[in-house]
Amino acid sequence: MGSVPLTELLLDTHPLLWALAGDGRLPGWLAEEIDDDPSRFGISDVSIWEIAIKRSTGRLEIPDDLPEIVSALGFSRVPLERRQAWAVRAMPRHHGDPFDRLLLSQAQDLGVPLVSADAAFGPYGADVRW
Total residue count of the chain as it appears in this document:
130
Lateral strand order in the sheet of 41-44: 76-78, 41-44, 9-11, 114-115, 128-129
CATH code for the part of the protein at 9-116:
3.40.50.1010
Report the C-alpha gap between 31 and 94 in whole angstroms. 29
Q: What's the whole-number average pLDDT of the chain?
A: 93
Give the model confidence (pLDDT) of 59-109 as tens digits. 999 999 999 999 999 999 999 999 999 999 999 988 789 999 999 999 999
DSSP assignment string, 52-115: HHHHHTTS----TTHHHHHHHTTPEEEPPPHHHHHHGGGS-SS---HHHHHHHHHHHHHT--EE
Q: What is the mean pLDDT of residues 22-44?
A: 97
What is the residue extent of each domain of the chain?
9-116
Q: Are 128 and 121 in contact (CB under 8 A)?
A: yes
Question: Using alpha carbons only, what angle is made at residue 37 by residues 31 and 38, rounded to the nearest 5 degrees?
Answer: 70
